[in-house]
Amino acid sequence: MTNPSEKEPIKITLDDLANISIPETSVVSPVSSSTGAKSYGTIAAAAEQFVPVSEERGSILLQGWFYLGLAGLLGALAGWAICEPGFVDGGGRMQHWGNIVMVPFILMLMCVGFGVAESTVERSLQKALLRGVLALPLGLVLGFVFYFMANMIYNVALGLCYEAGVQSFRNPAVWIARGIAWMVFGAAGGVVYGIVGQSSKKGYYGVLGGLIGAGIGGVIFDPIAMLTKGAALSRCVGFALVGLATGVAMGLVESALKDRWLYVTAGPLAGKQFILYKSETSIGSRQEADIYLFKDPNVLPQHAQIQITGARVQLRATGPVQWAGQLIKNRVLQDGDLIQVGRYSFRYKEKQRS
């Protein structure tokens, strides 16, 4: 009797071997475009997208202290140029419209500059326009309100100086009095900076930096007037330095106090840092995105999102995102992580907590 556990041997004949067919491998054929260039479809595009990119040297133009300082400088110069023709030296009752609106207009245009500067360097002109439209009326209102407040503080400080025996504007005590009063202007710039950026923390950093920068600018205003020996020239140089100092200080304070950020190591924005202020930060090719990635057809309008919950920072990808040579959909970011989106590379950084 045959043992049921034994198996029948497999028999392969010559006819069986002759009937074996090998399926053809799918190959993506090149398709010529209207320009004569050959396209290999999505397979080649996906492969090209994740070619490792080397870190690039960042441009100084993308540093916050630089573009905010430039924005403050240009805003102050524009406000001065508009109002100087209507300004009359000598004070008293002979003041013209320029005497009344010069400082508020300078502050207004500084606020507009702070509001649009970041979006401008990120090439998001649509976002810059929207922020400029919002910053203009805010800056105008705050310009007059804070100018009134600064004048009150300055008059009180001058009164204290005179009671202490100060009789000349060459006395450093008067310079300090102006610096304390003009710190209010910097605070206004920081408030607008936070409002258009839709972040209270950004506004806090902006106010702190504005207080420092405008205070420094106010202290050096009178010495500049004495050195230039010209009324119009002294105002031009003095206000320009106030705007410059305010913007630079805002950028430096913001950079020094940040706790989580993405640093662009490669791509058109190499050297730019995106501070993660919001609980949700969008990344994509839409100009409305918090991190707008332009000039890359591989980036989707809504490509990824970074969500912050307490100490947890999580990246959620809806488009192709690479980390450590692998495509990822979700990842809790760790300090030092390098992620790639198209031809952009980002280094995630966070401040070490003791």
Residues 6 or more apart in contact with residue 56 via CB below 8 angstroms? 265, 266, 267, 270, 271
- 173 with 240, same domain? yes
Could you give the number of structural domains in the chain? Answer: 2
Which secondary-structure segment (H or E) carries 150? helix 125-163
66 C-beta neighbours (distance < 10 Å), count? 17
In a domain, 244, yes or no: yes
CA dihedral sign, ordered 238, 239, 244, 249: positive
Domain, as residue range, for 295: 260-350
Kind of pairing, strands 38-39 and 326-332?
unpaired
- Would residue 66 count as lying in a domain? yes
Same-domain pairing of 195 and 280: no
In a domain, residue 177? The reply is yes
Domain-embedded: residue 37: no
User: Among 200, 228, 257, which residue terminates a domain?
Assistant: 257
Mark out the alpha helices in 164-230 (DSSP H runs). Answer: 172-196, 200-228
Q: With contact defined as beta carbons under 8 Å apart, do 266 and 53 qualify? A: yes
Query: CA 48 → CA 44, 68, 296, 341, 342, distances in Å?
Result: 6, 36, 12, 12, 9
Which of 216, 235, 257 lies at the terminal end of a domain, its last residue?
Answer: 257
Specify whether the CB–CB gap between 177 and 148 falls below 8 A.
no
Residue ranges in 36-124 assigned as alpha helix (H): 41-49, 64-83, 97-121
Inside any domain, residue 14: no
Pairing of strands 280-284, 291-292: parallel
Same domain membership, residue 276 and residue 217? no
Sign of CA dihedral 57, 318, 289, 44: positive
Q: For position 41, what pLDDT does the model report?
A: 40
Does residue 145 share a domain with residue 104?
Answer: yes
244 and 287 housed in the same domain: no
In a domain, 1, yes or no: no
Residue 67 inside a domain? The answer is: yes
Domain stop point among 228, 257, 286 = 257
**One domain, residues 277 and 204:** no
Is 341 inside a domain boundary?
yes
Same domain assignment for residues 266 and 253:
no
CATH code, domain carrying 288: 2.60.200.20
Q: Within this chain, do residues 110 and 216 fall inside the same structural domain, yes or no?
A: yes
Indicate whether 233 and 109 sit together in one domain.
yes
- 17 vs 8, 10, 11, 24, 25, CA distance in Å? 20, 14, 11, 18, 21
194 and 271 co-located in one domain:
no
Do 176 and 64 lie in one domain? The reply is: yes
* 61: DSSP letter: G
pLDDT per residue rounded down to tens, the chain (354 residues) = 445 445 555 555 555 544 544 343 333 334 444 444 444 344 344 444 445 556 667 788 899 999 999 999 999 999 999 999 999 886 555 568 888 899 999 999 999 999 999 999 999 999 999 999 999 999 999 999 999 999 999 999 999 999 988 888 889 999 999 999 999 989 999 999 999 998 999 999 999 999 999 999 999 998 988 888 778 888 999 999 999 999 999 999 999 999 999 999 999 999 999 999 999 999 999 999 999 999 899 999 999 999 999 889 999 999 999 998 899 999 999 999 999 999 999 999 998 865
pLDDT confidence of residue 57: 72
pTM of this structure:
0.80
Same domain, 209 and 77: yes
